[in-house]
Structure 1
Amino acid sequence: MKSRILIAAAVLLAAGAVPWVASDFLQSLALACLMYIALATSWSMFCGATRYLSLATSAFFGVGAYTSAVLLDVLPWPLVVACGALVAAIVAAVMGAAVLHLRGTYFAVLTFGMTELIRHAITYVEKQVSGTVGRVLAVVPENHVVYLTLLLIAALAIGTALWVKKSRFGLALAGIGADEQRAQTLGVDTRRMKIFGFALSALFAGAVGAAMAVRWTYIEPSAVFNPFIGFQTVLIALIGGAASLGGPIAAAIVFSLLAETLRLQLPYGYMLVLGLLLVLCVMYLPNGLASLWQRKQGGKA
């Protein structure tokens, strides 16, 4: 246990030194890794346990980004990120109360549809209130502040996922995923647990959106509510192993590196690799790449 804590502390310190020792390109690459680590970990925290396939990550990311854009000039940076996270969690709680009684394809389609609804609603409000779509971010924090903020969000997401996995709340979510009706008969308030878990997952997606918004000098709904962000988060989590903790983290790092490498050389190569790996995982590794490590550990035992 102590060795794991020491390794985690060393990794955190090394990651925290990146803004001062790495080039701008490497910093950008590290930001992408941290972004998808936080998104995939928080998505898996709820969806991996309950087996609900949510396609609403881009909605929470976009809500956090727009909250950041609106409040950036009036609040200190920590409060801006906290407000982005809080607004996303509230949106998720409302969305969850409306659709979490559904499962499977219906739930996935409705979460994607509500994401589009939120995007169009914000576009409409922007046109009516400001007369244009999008916002210019004139005053933004320094790059190292944004990086350290995202590093903290990713660390908190991993720590929270670890806590959830070992808590009674996590056991309740796992029970819902295994057999929701049985969990109800055992006294689990499944509706309340699902809404809270969904909102907790969205909290981190909103915080990531709020932090990443300042990387653009101009944001608009089509950019921050980009479905690709949500789809890639889901694919990374599924390929890594949504039921595990380390799988999504490792997959996020690998695919962030692949994305930057292949997009420069082969613009469509990254999506082909991602799709191919997803097909292979579904066919041969339904529990994701993390199952390879679990088999290896089981073989040693």
Structure 2
Amino acid sequence: MNDKRFAGKPWRWLVLALLIAAVVPWVASEFASAVALSCLMYIALATSWSLFCGATRYLSLATSAFFGLGAYASATLLGLLPWPLVILCGAAIASAVAVVMGAAVLHLRGTYFAVLTFGMTELIRHAVTFVEKQVSGTVGRVLMEVPTNETVYLTMLAIAGAAIACAILVKRSRFGLALAGIGADEQRAQTLGVDTRRVKIAGFALTAAFAGAAGAAMAVRWTYIEPAAVFSPFIGFQTVLIALIGGAASIGGPIVAAIVFSLLAETLRLQLPYGYMMVLGLLLILCVMYLPNGLATLWTARQGRRNE
């Protein structure tokens, strides 16, 4: 009875939030719109990262690689293809690379997997730098024809909304159960008939698709992009920290954490350039010590007390 009553609540909240967020560029200042865009970017990245890594407990540090590939796809194809196809190409390229990367490293777990995904991210960054120097003679690219700020914002809103919707659907599907089974006990999942290798690669590619789409959309916010900026490890590390602090096993935790830390970032960077990272690190330490499942633990405990 309770399941039927609350089954539609996430969708109603999602639609309401998207409708409210859609009017921001027309009612808020340019600075507020830029902050909202940053929130949407990290919502998409943290939610999609949690979709795979939160369920399987694989610590991926490859988010910045997929983001950067999407950004370079956008910079290359902008002006040649319609804007929606540019976003889809960014997602497709990142997803294709994730399939190859996943096939190579997803048999590993723990520290080995994390280190290898970070190493492959650096390999991709240096490969893009080498190709850029050989082909165009320069490292970066200047973006001349870019969509309007409103178009970029609505695109990022659609990507964030799609990431949340996908997370809800996956969590309630057999595919989501297979991912959770891998996280709980991968060998047992195999004995129960789950093709763990295929499921892991599919989940990894799905995560990469959203990161690539986000990179393709955000690339046009800069007039000049270069590998050091769009493949920045900071993007990947911050995504992981936001997801872990919010609660990678939940859907709402990374969303709330992304909003809070995006607001903190813009506030503290103006006054204390290094204060934001100090706050982020302190909160991560506190969460690891007292809330191992992230801030979502507080909400779960409150709901448990209310149901008693």
With the shorter chain as reference, the TM-score category is over 0.9
* Residue 140 of structure 2: aligned partner: 134
* Residue 3 of structure 2: aligned partner: none
Percent same amino acid among aligned pairs?
A: 78
1:174-193 matched pairs, under 5 angstroms: 174-193=180-199
Q: Deviations over 1:51-104 (max 9, x none)?
A: 000000000000000000000020000000000000000000000000000000
Structure-2 separation of matches of 1:3 and 1:65: 34
* Residue 156 of structure 1: aligned partner: 162
Q: Deviations over 1:238-268 (max 9, x none)?
A: 0000000000000000000000000001111
**Corresponding letter in the other structure for 1:73:** G
1:212 counterpart = 2:214 = no
**Runs of at least 5 residues in structure 1 that lack an aligned partner in the other structure:** none
CA shift in 2, pair 1:7/1:170, >3 Å: closer
CA displacement at 1:6 relative to structure 2:
3.8
1:259 counterpart = 2:261 = no
CA displacement at 1:3 relative to structure 2:
5.5
Cα pair 2:14 2:161 within 8 Å, conserved: no
CA displacement at 1:300 relative to structure 2:
1.0
* Residue 21 of structure 1: aligned partner: 27
Cα pair 2:25 2:33 within 8 Å, conserved: yes
Match of 2:260, SS state, is helix
CA displacement at 1:148 relative to structure 2:
0.2
Structure-1 separation of matches of 2:211 and 2:20: 24
1:94-105 matched pairs, under 5 angstroms: 94-105=100-111
CA displacement at 1:26 relative to structure 2:
0.3
1:185-204 matched pairs, under 5 angstroms: 185-204=191-210
CA shift in 2, pair 1:242/1:3, >3 Å: closer
Structure-1 separation of matches of 2:250 and 2:17: 20
Match of 2:294, SS state, is coil
* Residue 296 of structure 1: aligned partner: 302
CA displacement at 1:12 relative to structure 2:
1.2
CA shift in 2, pair 1:5/1:171, >3 Å: closer
* Residue 239 of structure 2: aligned partner: 233
* Residue 280 of structure 1: aligned partner: 286
- In the superposition, the TM-score normalised over structure 1's length comes to 0.99
180-189 vs 6-15, greater mean Cα deviation: 6-15
Match of 1:232, SS state, is helix
CA shift in 2, pair 1:4/1:113, >3 Å: closer
**Corresponding letter in the other structure for 1:82:** L
* Residue 248 of structure 1: aligned partner: 254
Q: CA RMSD in A?
A: 0.8
Match of 2:60, SS state, is coil
Structure-1 separation of matches of 2:105 and 2:11: 39
Match of 1:140, SS state, is coil
How many residues align? The count is: 301
The counterpart of 1:117, out of the listed 117, 123, 141, is: 123
Match of 1:249, SS state, is helix
Cα pair 2:54 2:249 within 8 Å, conserved: yes
- In the superposition, the TM-score normalised over structure 2's length comes to 0.97
